[in-house]
Amino acid sequence: MADQKNALIVGASRGLGLGLVETFLQRGWRVTATQRSPSPGLAALASDALRVETADIDDDSAVSSLHEKLSGERYDLIFVVAGVATQAHDPLHAVPRDVAAQVYLTNAISPIRFAETFLDRLAPTGLVAFMSSILGSVGLNESGGWENYRASKAALNTLARSFEIRHRDAGFGVMLMHPGWVRTEMGGADADIDVGTSVTGMTHVIESHLGQAGCVYVDYTGKTLDW
């Protein structure tokens, strides 16, 4: 179908990434999904509208190879979901420097570098989305905790705003998405909502923002969050 939307979901082997792939497929999109290692969840989907590729966003050569492999694609949406929460519950001084730095690289630096590499694969007036978190809000941090993870997502928010400003004349949109507190491996069993609720909300918000320029920081219901 000529008018079928096309999405690139980066970091889709499980949890929210996998749920987004399933939901976009159900909504009639074509989807390219990336995995860092073979994903049973992606393998089980088996859809003609799904393409699965392997790449680690922290590996520049792997990202470059993926860029070449996807040279024939144009995406209405590039959504970088991949992220880590290593030693998230430890205060910053208790996290080894190399571990803290790796969280920052994976959650803040690598998503922006990936988006920069793949901009020529984005359709005109397309949308670049990054999986952020309400924990990345400086203004809403009244409880503390998750210090290094919070800092990495705050950094992602800042870098994404600069990324959008740098490319503002191109006309595409940038979205920083808080998925809610979700019952995943990262969110834990006591979280507020399940994956289905989160990804259904996120896909609706994304579809409603297609074609809009600027940078927004929103949650899965479409609510704008404080920076």
Cβ atoms of 182 and 193 closer than 8 Å: yes
Q: Cα separations (Å) of 165 from 90, 139, 151, 159, 177?
A: 34, 22, 21, 10, 18
Residue-level pLDDT at 2: 56
**Going by C-beta distance under 8 Å and a sequence separation of 6 or more, which residues neighbour residue 61?**
none
Closest among 199, 204, 195, 196 to 222, alpha carbons compared: 204
Phi-psi category of 96—alpha, beta or left, where left has phi over 0 and alpha has psi -120 to 50?
beta
d(CA 7, CA 5): 7
Backbone angles phi, psi at 2, to 5 degrees: -65, -30
Residue-level pLDDT at 8: 98
Residue-level pLDDT at 1: 52
Cβ atoms of 86 and 102 closer than 8 Å: yes
Beta pairing partners, 152: none
d(CA 54, CA 41): 14
User: Collapsing DSSP states into helix, strand and coil, what is residue 36?
Assistant: coil
Closest among 209, 119, 219, 133 to 170, alpha carbons compared: 119
- For the chain (length 227 residues), average pLDDT per consecutive 10? 87 96 98 96 95 98 98 97 96 98 98 98 96 98 97 98 97 96 75 91 97 97 98
